[in-house]
Amino acid sequence: MKFTEGLWRVKDGVKLYHPAHVYDYEISKDSVIVFAPAHFITNRGQTLQGPVFTIRFSSPFKDVIRVQIWHYKGQKSKKPYFEFYKEEGYCPCIEDFSDNIVITSGKLRAVINKKDEWKVEYYYEDKYLTKNGYKYFGYAIMADNNTYMREQLSLSVGECVYGLGERFTPFVKNGQVVDMWNEDGGTISELAYKNIPFYITNRGYGVFVNDPGRVSFEVATENVERVQFSVEGEYLEYFIIGGSSMKNVLENYTKLTGRPQLPPAWSFGLWLTTSFTTNYDEKTVTSFIDGMIQKDIPLHVFHFDCFWMKDMHWVDFEWDKRVFPEPSQMLKRLKEKGVKICVWINPYVSQLSKLFDEGKEKGYFLKKPNGDVWQTDDWQPGMAIVDFTNPEACRWYSEKLKKLIKMGVDCFKTDFGERIPTDVVYFDGSDPQKMHNYYTYLYNKTVYETLQETFGKGNAVVFARSATAGSQKFPVHWGGDCLASYESMAETLRGGLSLSLCGFGFWSHDIGGFESTATPDLYKRWVAFGLLSSHSRLHGNSAYKVPWLYDEEAVDVLRFFTKLKCRLMPYIFAKAVEAAEKGIPVLRPMVLEFPDDPACEYLDRQYMLGSNLLVAPIFSPDGEVQYYVPEGVWTNILTGEKIVGGRWRKEKHDYFSLPLLARPNSIIPIGSCDTKPDYDYAQNVTLNVYELEDGKTASVTVKNTNGETELELEVKRDNDKISINVLRDTQKPWRLLFHGLNLKSQFNALVSKKEDGCEVVLESADKKALLSVEKTEL
């Protein structure tokens, strides 16, 4: 939202007030409260008029500073509020100097100017991050007397802004107007299902606006030197989040708003759905699952979309008996084929549903101000919306889900949650404007915790479309309704990259596109991208997504990449554990891994899968791809080709290949099983060592499916000597494979020369080994 017209003028009808200077302040053990009038006060007579802003600086834990700004403090505060973590008893260091007040939290500090005009500067150690200067903050009174609080934070030369949710617009947000308002708008516009009022920049800090309502961001637009954010009302709150790197900033942000739970290992396998409006019954579903088995394509989850329930009855949580006459027996038969079961749900209840009268009678739905149930025909006839601020409604909804779980359902696709009205009354009195975005948090929390209560921690997973800040705690999320085109495939990736920089560790998308039918070419290219995402689902609107409906090669391509992902699971699952423990996403923009490489700042057609695998999906029917490789010698793990980095590459690939590069000085664990994602990762694992440089140490950790470490080791090269140090061992057999090196054993290692390198097996239980590098490489 814009309030000014360039440098000099305020928009017609707008009155804008700014803190002029620090007039007075109070320092306590844990905070600084500053009183800043909107004009310079030089005599007592000037104290007789306002406004005066009350600005509080505090810290919930180290490296994070909280800023709270009030104009009027007498307004009633209404729910909902974002949940955020505060370390009990934590107090920042506060120093009062002659010219400024310094509040230091860890290595992050705010310097509040006491002399002259208003200014607050933020530093991490000695590095300048951003500032709030004179006339940056503004209190606006509009022509209709509505009021807004506006803040601006400076941008430096070359500073790029990322995040703000799953956005399908350009990856770098500079020059964009972004409003936090969840919409069911597909992937083709500035509308987004997942609006997160958090941004991060390549200067190594983040800003989280602590307001679940409509926060309006002007990112280098109203003022090209600043990021502006504004909210309606008399109060504004935000956090400055520092860190030693962009990764560390994400760690601190997810410590503040919540880390993702670890999804079960089986959820990383291939998901297949009925698709949306297609016709299906048990015979159809069984033919799909049997077809995948017969064609040797590992399938791990089968999803029933909306029409598992009777049309116009969504949701009643009852199988449509016309096509599924014996659902319990059907699910038992399907699960005997080795698949988990997912079913579609949403938080809406049709007037035709058996649940409608029950929910109405007990007061479980959103209401109009006059007490009537709020209803609409937009989606289902006369549908109502479950009020998740009512604890009894949550229990009611949860009990319906538990009946399905008892029947054999393993997880739920929690669709919708964006079309939430604001002309309603909530059970707990929540502000309906702020609940519009926050509703999805309560919806998915209810479903996720129902699954977790039944299956235990680490065994719950949803497939969610809508989100707000904190929703990352309830994985997994998918990208919504995309089109069957290369352009939509690329915008889908942009959305995933933006979402990952908001602390969402796990993300998926509809392979082949949701709307319309993909060409065989697009389907096969999207399969490679989809199976190299954290979660992988074949789904569409009016077309089935089984590969044999495209062509026979599509069957082979899907088999190839599904089995590749199964073998990569020791690597992927270790990165999943890192996402759960630290908030570092599995899918990572290049800038997150290479923040000091300016070539990575705008890259949005490639990504890092974890820290050590570069993926460049192919977005053209001719199989050509142009991508950037950072410094060092990288190795394509599919072809063995070595690629010198620090430059752009242009390549052409068939459908069984794409740029999938191992980072230099990395160890990629490859599992022994290619038929499922949940197996013993340490059993016969191959630890592939790529391009170990002199003076470098590479390390690897192999987890089990509970997220516990089973095998951990490091490999160090010193000139022509390579030392192996096993930090944690398992009694299970494992081996190292050094690619492109000719090695000899010096101590405790059995070396065998292979076509693509040297295999090394420790000869005894000793935790160390020594190798020598021959002058000639293989």
Placement of tokens 């197996």 in the chain: 679
418 is catalytic: yes
Which residue type, as a one-letter code, is found at position 449?
A: E
Q: Rounded to an integer, what distance in angstroms lies between the CA atom of residue 638 and that of residue 658?
A: 8
Count of CB atoms situated within 10 Å of the CB of 356: 21
To the nearest 5 percent, what fractions of the chain are helix, strand and coil? 20, 30, 45
Taking each helix axis from N to C end, the angle separating 391-407 and 354-362, rounded to the nearest 10 degrees, works out to: 150
Strand, helix or coil for residue 769: strand
The answer to whether 221 and 177 have CB atoms below 8 angstroms apart is yes
Is the sign of the CA dihedral 606, 418, 251, 174 positive or negative? positive
Radius of gyration of the chain (CA): 28
Give burial (CB, 10 Å; 0-12/13-18/19+) of 184: middle
Which residue, among 490, 516, 482, 525, has the nearest Cα to 621 in the 3D structure? Answer: 525
Strand, helix or coil for residue 356: helix
Which residue, among 499, 518, 517, has the nearest Cα to 507 in the 3D structure? Answer: 499
Strand, helix or coil for residue 294: helix
Going by DSSP bridges, is the β-strand pair 768-773/743-747 parallel, antiparallel, or unpaired?
antiparallel
Q: Which of 232, 415, 578, 678 is catalytic?
A: 415
Please report, for residues 168, 174, 688, the alpha-carbon distance to residue 714 in angstroms, rounded to integers and kept in the order given.
40, 41, 12
Tell me the DSSP string of 534-578. Answer: SSEEE--SSS---GGGT-HHHHHHHHHHHHHHHHHHHHHHHHHHH
> Which helix (DSSP H) or strand (DSSP E) does residue 520 occupy?
helix 520-531
Burial 707-737 (b: 16+ CB within 10 A, else e): beebbbbebebeeeebbbebeeebeeebebb
The answer to whether 466 and 171 have CB atoms below 8 angstroms apart is no
Q: Which of 63, 166, 387, 418 is catalytic?
A: 418
Which residue, among 501, 540, 469, 577, has the nearest Cα to 210 in the 3D structure? Answer: 469
Q: Rounded to an integer, what distance in angstroms lies between the CA atom of residue 162 and that of residue 495?
A: 11
Strand, helix or coil for residue 439: helix
Which residue, among 439, 438, 330, 352, has the nearest Cα to 393 in the 3D structure? Answer: 439
Q: SS in 3 state form for 201-263? A: ECCCEEEEECCCCCCEEEECCCCCCEEEEEEECCEEEEEEECCCCHHHHHHHHHHHHCCCCCC
Q: Which of 166, 318, 387, 481 is catalytic?
A: 481
Q: Rounded to an integer, what distance in angstroms lies between the CA atom of residue 360 and that of residue 366?
A: 9
Q: Rounded to an integer, what distance in angstroms lies between the CA atom of residue 313 and that of residue 355?
A: 9
Is the sign of the CA dihedral 400, 405, 409, 411 positive or negative? positive
DSSP strand E in 298-388: where?
Answer: 301-304, 340-345, 348-349, 384-385
Tell me the DSSP string of 636-661. Answer: ETTT--EEE-SEEEEEE--TT---EE
Which residue, among 79, 103, 64, has the nearest Cα to 255 in the 3D structure? Answer: 64
481 is catalytic: yes
- Catalytically active residues are 415, 418, 481
